[in-house]
Structure 1
């Protein structure tokens, strides 16, 4: 009887604890953190040990713990991964060696979401090779949460493995279309990795395993080329080819190449160290050389004793033997430059691979990776990618067509619509006509090709659905489970025939498809101002990125003067003060700023101050009428898509470009002095800024922004600024044909509407005069 009060007290405390353990009330505090959330695994846990059971939360030691022999591979190929809207997913692939595929493995990641997401109606799912490995509610609005899922035996395979993150997100209180933009779930790259229990699987057995170089915790990949004799001019071309071969094998979205003469710190994730040199040069760097290095060419991996990291050794008794080892890496990546590509390999950051459309083609959505989907929410979004060749010239008149197979119920009200976006720009809008629902079979939606550019293009289809149920938005009502919209994978994208001709300058063609360097049959002249580590690293990184864009290595030869380029397409890389003035003049850079760009003395000089004062006086004196003209120009542009550039008969002169002080890197393109080849310049104020700037641009997110006549990179905002092409010349890229010329003329006249109007009036007058003359001769006279 004396134990009864104690039992009642325990029951009371348990009930009280359960009451306080309920979920936190709805909080209107700021949602998205100002900085990337720091998500850490619990202390006292190691990597490499699989979870005790599938779906175990990573907050428990058993979920992420492991022995000291395990290792991890980061899996997110982006600097940040944000899944937005009511439904969203991202898919890519990662390469595993046979040993890694056979090892026991665990997938770990941390995430945080918007506070307005209702966890009971929202979920985050992870798929590996098409199999669901983990799914759970989205409930990390207050603090970041980590999750871990043991991967079933036999799921991973040697080679490419598909990884897919998918979310379904529902708003707590709001049912408007605008509220869907408040839904987001972010996965921090430094928390997303696969833990392998077998430490021996970290080793590389053959050069094919270079594809498994992987990522660091920011989504970057780095190749460290250790070359004791790198400053010898005769070796530069071979090192550039090695960098391209490594990049094509790795094929990661953000790859950097660093050249040095000494060993870097080994064992870092997402890095591969390659030692290239003769036996005498590399012997001091290694405790022992691979067998056969003293007598012949060797390309083999050795393992560092302390970090267990693989190190690739390319060596031999002399440099020709080393060159042969380099060819073992690069030669398998070669392909004929005159053979067009059917697909562009984007699988490491976007699945499926992007098909190349060169003319009249119809592609089913199922071929583009779009699955049949049923949707119960308010804003449905799906995406796919297609590529156009480097000589694409249909941005002023061309239209693609989406033949849409879809269905919607009678609950969808008038005012609902389907929007099509191309590279983030709205390209078409189609309203739902019927108020009683229906099935759409191959509904044609014309999509302007104004926003297409050479290389991959991201096309997004968005269905905005309005219903009476969402208009009422009863508080506490459960999320609807009845589908109101369906998209079928039998839908098609029809790309018509379009004009095919190259343009000079056109940096977008270079960034999208490595033109014109990929299509050059001969060797590309490469000018480097000096053979120091930073400049060589910048050149190697740029050529590696160019090789990935073109899908093949680009053969280069070193030149010491622009005159040696002759009539060939050429590349010039270096610091602006060290580059020849001839190159600057040809690509449109103001030579007077050659020595002052980036220097502290160039900021705030008296001449610049006076120039700024004069500009302000001119601006203010004509402020009233200038404002009216500007407003009129904006209105005409918005309503009729007509700009002043399209109202010119003669081409606009391109003024010399003055690099801004906020930029640390510029890319410029122009014709050579004889106007029969393309010169591209990559320059920075200093060698260190050159290396860092090219490394930043090598990220696929920045690289795809390169376009126009000149592009500059500003590190403060991590942005690429583009100077459009004011005057260009055509470059023949395919055999002449009347059909292609007709399309070229159509696009040119659409870009120069004033010339078209004058030509139309002239032809009308000539037709009237001819008709009058004919009637006067043949008509009946009174």
Structure 2
């Protein structure tokens, strides 16, 4: 009886606990090969350890040196599947001492952790992966690097994410999925203090970036006030930029030693032995007798210093040549790719004429997809004289397959540089295998230099429409893309344009080594202006992948027929130069004089409101609506319906802008002038440093561009008038293509020519029939 009573009591106590339902679990919806053991959620700041190879090193092992590895301020991975690949340059010492790779991440709250995974791949080897589950606060992951993984030189780093929505099954919901990794949290730790040493000129490539994804070269030159040395400073800045080859580089030119030991910075001392003596406790061996280009280590900070010195200035110039000669490329050797490896891999191939490449050659691999929105990118590059944006079309020959579950309304979208360029519908009752399905891609959004093309498949299914529990993460593939697909570029017109900020930002045109010496006008020789000029010139060198010869001039009269750069604060630039490039010289005093940023914002808001009010009121409203419809439907605006090109209006920058870049032909029409200016030298240095970031640099286009730091906005003004600059040998085929694009741009004149030809054909036909036809 006592045993029976004890049994009844135990059932009454434990029953409610045993009867509790299991928590909601979506593990079964994830592919078996991707499932990870269930782990307790990490606390904020807790390290997420994955298996044995993900363990962090013991706390007692000191880490003396680390390298940030993400070349942007933040790495953002979006959608159901996304990945980003780039390379990190390591010295032999760093490759041997690589210990762990650490990063912190955070993701959207709608990401389902049991069906989402974040992976890290280095040099083709998976070093760690785990569920995406940092919704409330960033979580840190640290993966042990195998001893033989890293190598001296370039190392490929790839972050990849598979994400699924917690509850929603729509295509729109996939835009809510994101995982972000701040640059300051992602780094490789190296065992030993000596890993930070730089010993050869090639090691400049290992400068890397700081926690904001930026790189800076500090050029310390005590005798900076001598005008004859400006050209040498610019050449050194270009050489350093080409060796560093990072996406956001700036140059600081100064006479004093900066703070040493900062990540992503390299300090270079250039001067004679007597000039550098106050800055260095001891000179490198042999510096008093010959030119020396070598690294020394600062005793206090342990930071490497590149010393370029000698007994006289000619010896210093010879030492600088030791740096720049590594980067020189013969002008008669054409490029076959544009170098983007430090921020995007694979590198985009250069198309100079009709050419077809398979997706496998463009870095796109065969992929099977079970989600709702599949997106994969690839890049191609175009030359500086590309001229086919008004009429040309490229073609994607798509090899793909989709199941019978994909219903009507699904589509393939093609994006070029973030703009929609083509759409093809999908969907059938029985599924379909398509072989070389032609998709026309307009060339309107292509530009000289690298172009990012993204193929996106938006897939609708009945199961997603119902969105029943347990089906939001189906593992059955519904779409497949094959790497046998092809991208076909047609023949396109090749002729240079002036002005053309697109070509300047894309490939450095016309400021390249093969275009002759470049005249540089500086309004003054303060450190801010010199730093801005060095940053801008080095960014041009990086775009053109060549060293331009820079010659400083004292007045615009010395320019002659050379391409020229005018860099300085607006109040100090000559009125004749400003007028030539279309800048209103009367704003010298007013630009940048607003009392505070609030008033500038209010002024801009009022300006936009009045413009909208005047444009939309009265009889103008129907005309504006028609113009918008024609622009969106046919790409035609009222400005294109003119026989002669309109005149360039004088431009006055808004107070919100702190940097202005304008380009035009010289008075003789034989060369290109580019003006880079700001209200003050300090704003000039800051503005050029900001615009040198690849994300903003690639937005420069047209005739004039301005940068507004408050809202991180680059505004551009297209060129109404431009000049053709022949770049190819005369060819009837090229002239035909040039004429086709020009007539497609000038629609009204094209229509008048067609009408005129039709009338001429009718008159000639009537005349022939009158003489040869049968009379009734």
- For the criterion TM > 0.5, the same-fold answer is yes
SS in 2 for 1:355: coil
Q: Using the TM superposition, name which of 639-648 and 744-753 deviates more.
A: 639-648
Matched residue, 1:582: 576
Matched residue, 1:28: none
Quickly say closer, same or farther: Cα 1:149–1:618, change in 2 above 3 A. Answer: closer
How does 1:420-569 map onto structure 2 within 5 Å? Answer: 420-477=414-471, 479-518=473-512, 520-569=514-563
Matched residue, 1:138: 132
1:600-646 Cα distance to aligned partner (Å, 9 max, x none) = 489999xx99xx99x96996599211122111211222233321122
Measured in 1, the distance between the counterparts of 2:450 and 2:621 equals 39
Tell whether the 8 Å contact from 2:583 to 2:650 is kept in structure 1 after alignment: yes
Of 626, 629, 633, which residue of structure 2 is paired with 1:635? Answer: 629
1:441-482 Cα distance to aligned partner (Å, 9 max, x none) = 111111000000110000000001111111111124462111
Matched residue, 1:59: none
Measured in 2, the distance between the counterparts of 1:705 and 1:103 equals 39
How much has 1:162 moved relative to structure 2?
Answer: 0.3
Of 708, 726, 732, which residue of structure 2 is paired with 1:732? Answer: 726
Tell whether the 8 Å contact from 2:340 to 2:347 is kept in structure 1 after alignment: yes
1:495-525 Cα distance to aligned partner (Å, 9 max, x none) = 0100001111111110001111126432111
Measured in 2, the distance between the counterparts of 1:308 and 1:23 equals 54
Matched residue, 1:263: 257
Tell whether the 8 Å contact from 1:226 to 1:274 is kept in structure 2 after alignment: yes
Aligned residues: CA RMSD: 2.8
Of 311, 319, 328, which residue of structure 1 is paired with 2:313? Answer: 319
Matched residue, 1:760: 754
Measured in 2, the distance between the counterparts of 1:699 and 1:370 equals 26
The total of aligned residue pairs comes to 743
Measured in 2, the distance between the counterparts of 1:51 and 1:467 equals 35
Tell whether the 8 Å contact from 1:51 to 1:150 is kept in structure 2 after alignment: no
How does 1:298-447 map onto structure 2 within 5 Å? Answer: 298-447=292-441
How does 1:120-139 map onto structure 2 within 5 Å? Answer: 120-139=114-133
Quickly say closer, same or farther: Cα 1:435–1:53, change in 2 above 3 A. Answer: same
Unmatched 5+ stretches in structure 2: 1-9, 27-42
Matched residue, 1:30: none
1:244-282 Cα distance to aligned partner (Å, 9 max, x none) = 000000000000100111111111110001000100011
Quickly say closer, same or farther: Cα 1:712–1:91, change in 2 above 3 A. Answer: same
How does 1:226-245 map onto structure 2 within 5 Å? Answer: 226-245=220-239
Matched, 1:691 2:685: yes
Measured in 2, the distance between the counterparts of 1:141 and 1:21 equals 22
1:62-85 Cα distance to aligned partner (Å, 9 max, x none) = 457464452110001111111010
Q: Using the TM superposition, name which of 765-774 and 123-132 deviates more.
A: 765-774
Matched residue, 2:33: none
Tell whether the 8 Å contact from 1:593 to 1:658 is kept in structure 2 after alignment: yes
Tell whether the 8 Å contact from 2:46 to 2:140 is kept in structure 1 after alignment: no
Tell whether the 8 Å contact from 2:295 to 2:305 is kept in structure 1 after alignment: yes
How much has 1:40 moved relative to structure 2?
Answer: 8.9
Tell whether the 8 Å contact from 2:464 to 2:472 is kept in structure 1 after alignment: no
Matched, 1:54 2:53: yes
1:362-388 Cα distance to aligned partner (Å, 9 max, x none) = 111111111111111010000011010
Measured in 1, the distance between the counterparts of 2:109 and 2:594 equals 46
Measured in 1, the distance between the counterparts of 2:290 and 2:619 equals 77
How much has 1:51 moved relative to structure 2?
Answer: 10
Runs of 4+ displaced beyond 4 Å: 19-25, 39-43, 601-605, 615-622
Tell whether the 8 Å contact from 1:91 to 1:165 is kept in structure 2 after alignment: yes
Tell whether the 8 Å contact from 1:64 to 1:108 is kept in structure 2 after alignment: no
Tell whether the 8 Å contact from 1:668 to 1:682 is kept in structure 2 after alignment: yes
Matched residue, 2:36: none
1:515-568 Cα distance to aligned partner (Å, 9 max, x none) = 111264321111111111000000000011100000111111000111111111
1:98-125 Cα distance to aligned partner (Å, 9 max, x none) = 0111114100000011111111111000
Measured in 2, the distance between the counterparts of 1:737 and 1:24 equals 68
SS in 1 for 2:387: coil
Quickly say closer, same or farther: Cα 1:84–1:601, change in 2 above 3 A. Answer: closer
Tell whether the 8 Å contact from 1:51 to 1:106 is kept in structure 2 after alignment: no
How much has 1:340 moved relative to structure 2?
Answer: 2.7
Measured in 2, the distance between the counterparts of 1:628 and 1:69 equals 68
Matched, 1:81 2:59: no
How much has 1:708 moved relative to structure 2?
Answer: 0.9
Of 247, 253, 258, which residue of structure 2 is paired with 1:253? Answer: 247
Matched residue, 1:780: 774
SS in 1 for 2:619: helix
Tell whether the 8 Å contact from 1:337 to 1:518 is kept in structure 2 after alignment: no
SS in 2 for 1:187: strand
Of 215, 218, 223, which residue of structure 2 is paired with 1:221? Answer: 215
Matched residue, 1:90: 84
Matched residue, 2:639: 645
Tell whether the 8 Å contact from 2:169 to 2:472 is kept in structure 1 after alignment: no
1:364-419 Cα distance to aligned partner (Å, 9 max, x none) = 11111111111110100000110101111000100000011111111111111100
Tell whether the 8 Å contact from 1:51 to 1:64 is kept in structure 2 after alignment: no
Tell whether the 8 Å contact from 2:569 to 2:684 is kept in structure 1 after alignment: yes
Quickly say closer, same or farther: Cα 1:252–1:590, change in 2 above 3 A. Answer: same
Quickly say closer, same or farther: Cα 1:85–1:602, change in 2 above 3 A. Answer: closer
Matched, 1:573 2:567: yes
Tell whether the 8 Å contact from 2:662 to 2:703 is kept in structure 1 after alignment: yes
Tell whether the 8 Å contact from 1:338 to 1:519 is kept in structure 2 after alignment: no
Measured in 1, the distance between the counterparts of 2:717 and 2:437 equals 38
Measured in 2, the distance between the counterparts of 1:347 and 1:725 equals 32
TM-score by length of 1: 0.91
Measured in 1, the distance between the counterparts of 2:612 and 2:169 equals 51
Of 282, 285, 290, which residue of structure 1 is paired with 2:279? Answer: 285
Measured in 2, the distance between the counterparts of 1:647 and 1:520 equals 38
Quickly say closer, same or farther: Cα 1:64–1:235, change in 2 above 3 A. Answer: farther
Measured in 2, the distance between the counterparts of 1:597 and 1:686 equals 10
Tell whether the 8 Å contact from 1:126 to 1:132 is kept in structure 2 after alignment: yes
